[in-house]
């Protein structure tokens, strides 16, 4: 099942290589480039309207992030998906994401807090029985918003990479999750804690959310 993937960092892309990176990464996560498939630089160049150099630089970065496998004399392939990685990803995210939430609560600017309020309003405006794709989309935006509000570029980039790997695995199990809504709606309390500067509560809520959300997908898998 295809899933939406926002690229909140794409607005900061300052080069053609950045543009290629975000575009190809989205294609991998959406499985438009299927796991295990051979990657054609020429096809990517044509699809993205970019030259060979930025596409090759993007693929090199994606290889460093374990989203592309490179085999000498054979070519480049989209990395496979191993559902067993979900546990390892959850272990890392359960440590780093609460830390990011606590930083976001402590460091949010007035502009950040306004954006947080708008996200809370979006949650409140969700109608009955919302579409799972819409739920996952807003879940992504909330996580990435908190990463940005931490105002630590290294932490944001690291968490963004882990989130992408988790998202690939979630795609395999979305159709087996009976109800994503409660897991997404629990972000409301988390966002309010971030907005109100309650670092400890923000960290505690994020830890519980990551653990519960991953546990639901592990059961489905």
Domain residue spans of the chain: 8-78, 85-220
Q: Which of 79, 96, 220, 98 is nearest to 162 (CA)?
A: 96
Name the band, by pLDDT with cuts 50, 70 and 90, for residue 75: very high
CB 177 within 8 A of CB 132: yes
Amino acid 177: pLDDT: 64
Name the band, by pLDDT with cuts 50, 70 and 90, for residue 170: confident
Q: Where are the beta strands (DSSP E) in 65-221?
A: 68-71, 75-78
Instruction: Give the number of other Cβ atoms within 10 Å of residue 12's Cβ.
Output: 11
The CATH code belonging to domain 8-78 is 1.10.10.10
Name the band, by pLDDT with cuts 50, 70 and 90, for residue 2: very low
Q: In this predicted model, which residue has the larger pLDDT, 87 or 183?
A: 87
Percent of the chain at pLDDT > 90 equals: 59
Q: What is the pTM (predicted TM-score) of this model? A: 0.81
Dmax over Cα atoms in the chain, in whole Å?
A: 55
Amino acid 187: pLDDT: 87
> Tell me: the pLDDT tens digits for 103-135?
999 999 999 999 999 999 998 888 777 777 777
Helix (H) or strand (E) holding 2: none
Fold classification of 85-220 is 1.20.120
Specify the 3-state DSSP secondary structure of 38: strand
């Amino acid at each position: 099942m295809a899933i939406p993937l926002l690229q909140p960092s794409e607005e900061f892309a300052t080069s053609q290589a950045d543009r290629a990176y975000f575009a190809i990464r989205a294609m991998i996560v959406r499985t438009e480039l299927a796991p295990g498939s051979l990657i054609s630089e020429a096809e990517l160049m044509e699809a993205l309207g970019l030259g060979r150099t930025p596409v090759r630089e993007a693929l090199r970065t994606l290889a460093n992030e374990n989203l592309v496998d490179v085999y000498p004399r054979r070519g480049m392939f989209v990395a496979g998906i191993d559902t067993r990685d979900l546990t390892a990803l959850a272990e890392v995210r359960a440590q780093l994401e609460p830390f990011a939430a606590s930083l976001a609560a402590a460091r949010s600017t007035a502009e950040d807090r306004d954006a947080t309020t708008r996200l809370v309003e979006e949650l409140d405006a969700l109608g009955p029985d919302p579409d799972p794709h819409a739920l996952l989309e807003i879940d992504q935006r909330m996580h990435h918003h908190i990463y940005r509000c931490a105002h630590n570029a290294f932490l944001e980039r690291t968490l963004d990479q882990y989130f992408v790997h988790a998202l690939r695995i979630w795609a395999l199990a979305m159709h087996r999750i009976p109800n994503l809504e409660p897991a997404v709606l629990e972000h409301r309390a988390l966002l309010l804690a971030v907005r109100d500067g309650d670092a400890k509560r923000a960290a505690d809520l994020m830890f519980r959310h990551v653990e519960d959300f991953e546990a639901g997908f592990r059961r489905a898998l």
